[in-house]
Chain A
Amino acid sequence: MNRRWGPAIAASISLTACVALADQQATFRARKDVIRVDVLVTDHGKPVRDLKASDFEVRDDGVAQSVDFALLDELPINAILALDMSNSVVGGKLDNLRRASRTLLDSLTNEDRAALITFSHSVDLGARPTTDRAAVLAGLEGATEGGATALLDACYAGLVMGETDRGRSVLIAFSDGVDTASFLTPDAVLDTGKRAGTVVYGASLRGSKPQFLRDLSAATGGTVFELDSARDLGSLFAKVIDEFRQRYVLGYSPSGVAKSGWHRLEVRVKNRAFTIKARPGYLTGNSGDLPAANRPIGAGQR
């Protein structure tokens, strides 16, 4: 996992700490980075691919911002899989999961990286972000099945793993059960989702009521898919990667807005009535600055 935060253009969405090595001793200093926003633009369902930075209008807490760049398919993807290996997913579903993961790996380019987190009652690292497909497959084959479901903890790990200055990250989380084991609360993981730059796509089976995945996807600008069968996972994973490639990465240096707290984002294409899919905002600093609607139920709600 990267620990050095690179140049502004590849920075994550929130205020970040960076490590400056001096005399063998790590020091931390906070610096304001360019804010990146992953945006999907569609026109009646079809991705729009010919837009420039100047075509976009971005408002941060209602204040218009100058969009410095709009990259389309120019940054490699970090695809992080968080896969449920608990009791509810053994047997046939697990085989489908393995097949689907191979399909996803096949849809990546040589520059893209994949990572694997598997979870049951524990969160296990299958593979760090890597271009080595075999390493990810080996992690999948070696995953242990059975146990309870720590979906929240696994999503948290995926969000943090996705914070890198290399490329742009998408977390694809699959679970068909309810969380029965996590230590972290939904609000804590959502807080991280609002700070990190990772876009979350969720996948679950119809009937499983994936409210947390819906909330996390909505907060990060992703989508939740509810499938009729685990056999549909492969095509879904490929679809997610394809959609992610169609997203622009917009960058701007915030101006005229407070440094800390929740920032409401509005993105539109000037003079066009396209459909925009992007995260609704981002969080920096003290979450106590969140508007009431975005605050956790209780500060320590577990």
Chain B
Amino acid sequence: MRSRATFVVTVAGALLVACASSATAQGGRSGQRVSGAQPSTPPSSLEWLDLTRTYLKALRAHRIGVSDDATELIAKWPTQDVTLVGTHIGEMVRTLQQAAARDARAGREQPFSFAERSFTRTQFRQWLGLEEHDTFITDPNDILKLGALFHMDIAMYARVFAATPTEPSAMVRRAFASVDGHLVEVQDNSLHWAHARRLLDAVALSSSDGKWVRQWYVATTAWLADHKMWSVCLEQASSAEKLFPNDAQFPFARGVIHEVFALPRMQAARDASVPGIEDARAELGQAGILLRKALTLDRTFAEAHLHYGHVLSALGNLEEAVRELKEAESGVRDVNLRYFAALFLGWTEGQMGDRDAAAASFERAAREFPRAQSPLLGLSQVARQADDGFAASEALERLFALPRLRGAGDDPWLDYDRSHSREADTLVGEVRRSFRGAGQ
């Protein structure tokens, strides 16, 4: 549905178009270029080994959760160098996993072949320049998980811009965001997210590692949604869905993004000829399919009922919307979600012509957030639609009597597009804390 060549990324409420071409590798790293070796062919030159050693050293030196020398170093690397190293690390992981199995059967280290050389696992560690107790040799998944966290930190924190337009940064690209009419230059680190996913694709999904990988995807999709990086979030959630096909969280995450794309604030950006977003009805349709899938996987997913109900309401499927929203309202605990359920119920009931029910729902929403304008606007409009100008004016007077709206803290509707990612920072912190690797 969406072209890979161009995509939409949002940052802090803005909408931007990332440059379509992948970065070229001119002058990326001290002017050196690594001659590209095909992944399936052992390189004749060991220049890739220097890169790999440098990369592994940076990985081990990196402090998880911050931008440091390690992230800044690798952030400047050309795309093909990072990809080359990643490919070799993937091959090493597979080789080491096989070697570990043979060693376990034999009860001692057995030689194996890599890069036209013969190693034991100890010799391999020394060849790579790793410390004696580095877990890369004993638990290869560890380096892959660490790599995912490392590239996550680069994507989140590294601030590297090309010095000149002719010398683009490696996996970091210039992009421009339109923020309420003003053009702002931002950094697009989406390729690092892609690289992190590629590393995790190589993780053997045993029980504990699989749980951690899922946790990483849940945290990062929430973080990306919280930062309105919608396209990358879609890619992230899609990858997760392939790895965890029976997990409702990921079709939910994708469904909500399509729901957000249908909002008038996003459709207005679409009207400004920004690619990547379909028209509202198409986005709502896609959202409905995905949210229904999430609910099929987990019928008790109250927040999914909320978003599904909202989508149904927008599509005009009002009776079913009311059922979903009522189930959401009774099932959600978060006060913001209860507010949304009541607000959308009021809207839907109003559209059905049930003024009394709509008024009651809007009043419930107003009680959750007494300074919010949205419930009173809804109350007023429903009254006016029923040709009750008095009630419409009365509701508007209540709105004008409110203290000035400070922001989403007073009316969560202002931040609805990020409502499902409200715990992003907590989730990211937890996935970092739950990682245990050599030297960490």
Residues of A whose CB lies within 8 Å of any CB of B are: 1, 3, 5, 12, 14-19, 26, 28, 30, 86-88, 121-125, 144, 147-149, 152-153, 156-157, 160-161, 163, 176-186, 188-189, 191-192, 195-196, 208-209, 211, 284-287, 297-302
Add 9 more A-B contacts to A15-B387, A149-B180, A302-B262 (CB < 8 A). Answer: A3-B393, A19-B390, A88-B180, A122-B404, A124-B404, A178-B272, A300-B318, A300-B347, A301-B314
Q: How far is A55 from B332 in the complex, measured between Cα atoms in Å?
A: 63
Residues of B within 8 A of A3 (CB): 390, 393-394
Q: How far is A26 from B390 in the complex, measured between Cα atoms in Å?
A: 10
Q: How far is A124 from B404 in the complex, measured between Cα atoms in Å?
A: 7
Are B374 and A300 in contact (CB-based, < 8 A)?
A: no
Are A188 and B180 in contact (CB-based, < 8 A)?
A: no
Are B404 and A156 in contact (CB-based, < 8 A)?
A: no
What residue in chain B is nearest A30 (Cβ atoms)? Answer: B387
**Nearest Cβ in chain A — how far from B121, in angstroms?**
57
**Nearest Cβ in chain A — how far from B88, in angstroms?**
46
Are A184 and B381 in contact (CB-based, < 8 A)?
A: yes
Q: Is the interface of A mostly helix, strand, loop or mixed?
A: loop
Q: Does B353 contact A (CB under 8 A)?
A: yes
Q: How far is A3 from B181 in the complex, measured between Cα atoms in Å?
A: 39
What residue in chain A is nearest B315 (Cβ atoms)? Answer: A298
**Nearest Cβ in chain B — how far from A281, in angstroms?**
15
* B253-265 near A? 1/0 per residue, CB < 8 Å: 0000000001111
Residues of A within 8 A of B347 (CB): 300, 302
Are A148 and B385 in contact (CB-based, < 8 A)?
A: no
What residue in chain B is nearest A182 (Cβ atoms)? Answer: B264
Residues of A within 8 A of B271 (CB): 178, 209, 211
**Nearest Cβ in chain B — how far from A80, in angstroms?**
12
| Residue with the highest number of chain A CB atoms closer than 10 Å, among B352, B393, B407 | B393
What residue in chain B is nearest A144 (Cβ atoms)? Answer: B404
Interface members, chain B 378-433 (any A CB < 8 Å): 378, 380-381, 384-385, 387-394, 396-397, 399-400, 404-405, 407, 411, 413-414
What residue in chain A is nearest B388 (Cβ atoms)? Answer: A17
Q: How far is A28 from B391 in the complex, measured between Cα atoms in Å?
A: 10
Are B390 and A180 in contact (CB-based, < 8 A)?
A: no
- From A153, A176, A285, B387 is in contact (CB under 8 Å) with A285
Are A178 and B318 in contact (CB-based, < 8 A)?
A: no
Residues of A within 8 A of B400 (CB): 124-125
**Nearest Cβ in chain B — how far from A152, in angstroms?**
8
What residue in chain B is nearest A284 (Cβ atoms)? Answer: B387
Are B272 and A300 in contact (CB-based, < 8 A)?
A: no
* B349-386 near A? 1/0 per residue, CB < 8 Å: 00111000000000000000000011001101100110
Are B265 and A160 in contact (CB-based, < 8 A)?
A: no
Are B384 and A160 in contact (CB-based, < 8 A)?
A: yes
Q: How far is A290 from B362 in the complex, measured between Cα atoms in Å?
A: 26
Q: How far is A5 from B377 in the complex, measured between Cα atoms in Å?
A: 22
Residues of A within 8 A of B387 (CB): 14-17, 30, 195, 284-285
**Nearest Cβ in chain B — how far from A242, in angstroms?**
29
Residues of A within 8 A of B381 (CB): 156, 184, 188-189, 191-192
Residues of B within 8 A of A1 (CB): 393, 396-397
Are B265 and A300 in contact (CB-based, < 8 A)?
A: no
Q: Does B280 contact A (CB under 8 A)?
A: yes
What residue in chain A is nearest B271 (Cβ atoms)? Answer: A209
Q: How far is A46 from B317 in the complex, measured between Cα atoms in Å?
A: 49
Are B393 and A183 in contact (CB-based, < 8 A)?
A: no
Residues of B within 8 A of A300 (CB): 312-316, 318, 321, 347-348, 351
22 A-B contacts (beta carbon < 8 Å): A3-B390, A3-B393, A5-B389, A14-B387, A16-B389, A17-B388, A87-B180, A123-B377, A123-B399, A160-B380, A161-B396, A163-B393, A178-B265, A178-B269, A183-B377, A186-B264, A189-B381, A192-B381, A287-B385, A299-B316, A300-B316, A302-B310
Q: How far is A152 from B269 in the complex, measured between Cα atoms in Å?
A: 16
Interface members, chain B 74-122 (any A CB < 8 Å): none
- From B263, B280, B316, B388, A28 is in contact (CB under 8 Å) with B388
| Residue with the highest number of chain A CB atoms closer than 10 Å, among B316, B318, B343 | B316
Residues of A within 8 A of B414 (CB): 121, 148, 181
Q: How far is A185 from B411 in the complex, measured between Cα atoms in Å?
A: 17
Q: How far is A123 from B380 in the complex, measured between Cα atoms in Å?
A: 14
